[in-house]
Structure 1
Amino acid sequence: MSHVEAVCLSHKKGIVKKEQQQVEMRENWGIEGDAHAGDWHRQVSLLAGESIDNVKEILPTLKNGAFAENIITRGINLTTLQVGDRLQVGDQVVLEITQIG
């Protein structure tokens, strides 16, 4: 079953994001307090946990947030998503894909 494995944020751009136990999502804004949140088209970034696993084989001490990802997924083939697709996250959040890569 697909799920969110971790959520990360940073208050400044250009630094490693840190894993959070809980975040507040704001409609048309992104994750409250994250440097990339705002009134633009790239408010939240997704990365597959399976992709991180491949890198951890080489760098086992790698921590979540190292790739500036906000949401780490598990069990979702993110490569099949297209611009305009929507993902339901929990009961209250819907993410719309606005850019790939």
Structure 2
Amino acid sequence: MKLLSVNVGQARPVPYTSHPDGLTGIDKRPVEGPVMVSAPGPKGIAGSGLAGDVVCDLKHHGGDDQAVYAFAREDLDDWERELGRTLANGCFGENITTDGLDVSGALIGERWRIGPAVVLQVTSGRVPCRTFQGHLGEPGWVRRFTRKAATGAYLRVIEPGEIRAGDAVEILHRPGHGVTAAMEFRATTTERELLPRLLAAGDDLHPEALAAARKYVAEQAR
């Protein structure tokens, strides 16, 4: 298991984002050399966990619990076959493109060591938005991505450091609760009956998903 690429984006004006200035950083491109990874700070204030990477929509993206977005090359290859087009590393807006790792099947709370120093922890899947659809230029993309539920994973930074393309990825810890990034995505979008199962992941879960699960359980108990 390894990193195929480390990808960062700059703010660019586009016609398909809801950002008030019409800017997005979703167009991530692979970079050479090491990139510093660290916890960026609270959502709404801080952006990406990667140095040199820009997050424009701080309301929905970035912050400690979405510091890094990972997507598997295998899933990009699957989409290439389905869409009949080439998909470069980073084109889904991911910060790290992996090889040999089931990213969507990663468990909430799972910890990865990347390279000699960095440790990341899985927090949630990725919810597609209109900016993602506009960036890909695929009609009905939000529905298609949601239906497949190969979401990739957001991660928080446990141990900071530098990463680069070619770094080995090692799974340090894999919880036993069975709650994957893909399940978290399905529970918070199309299959809300799964929300109670998310509680098994506890505080490792993205705080917004944990709050949604607790609210659902409380409502069902009334």
Name the TM-score, length of structure 2 as normaliser: 0.41
Higher strand share: 1
Counterpart among 21, 35, 51 of residue 75 in structure 2: 51
1:41 is paired with a residue whose SS is helix
Task: Tell me if structure 1 keeps the 8 A contact 2:7–2:95.
Answer: yes
2:104 is paired with a residue whose SS is helix
Q: Residue 3 of structure 1: CA displacement?
A: 0.7
Aligned counterpart, 2:35: 24
Q: Residue 39 of structure 1: CA displacement?
A: 4.2
Aligned counterpart, 1:68: 93
Task: Tell me if structure 2 keeps the 8 A contact 1:6–1:73.
Answer: yes
Residue 76 (structure 2) pairs with residue 77 (structure 1): no
* Unmatched segments (≥5 aa) in structure 1: none
Counterpart among 9, 13, 33 of residue 52 in structure 2: 33
1:94 is paired with a residue whose SS is strand
The worse-fitting range, judged by mean Cα deviation, of 20-29 and 66-75 is 20-29
Aligned counterpart, 1:98: 123
After superposing on structure 2, the runs of 4+ consecutive aligned residues of structure 1 that deviate more than 4 Å are none
Task: Tell me if structure 1 keeps the 8 A contact 2:77–2:87.
Answer: no
Determine what percentage of the aligned residue pairs are the same residue: 30
Residue 4 (structure 2) pairs with residue 5 (structure 1): yes
- Identify the structure with bigger relative contact order (alpha carbons < 8 Å, sequence gap 6+): 1
Measured at CA, do residues 15 and 77 of structure 1 come closer, stay the same or move farther in structure 2, by a change above 3 Å? closer
Task: Tell me if structure 1 keeps the 8 A contact 2:109–2:121.
Answer: yes
Between Structure 1 and Structure 2, whose CA radius of gyration is higher? Answer: 2
Task: Tell me if structure 1 keeps the 8 A contact 2:9–2:52.
Answer: yes
Task: Tell me if structure 1 keeps the 8 A contact 2:10–2:27.
Answer: no
Higher helix share: 2
**In 2, Cα distance between equivalents of 1:14 and 1:32:** 13
Task: Tell me if structure 1 keeps the 8 A contact 2:3–2:97.
Answer: yes
Name the TM-score, length of structure 1 as normaliser: 0.83
| RMSD, aligned α-carbons | 2.0
Q: Residue 25 of structure 1: CA displacement?
A: 2.1
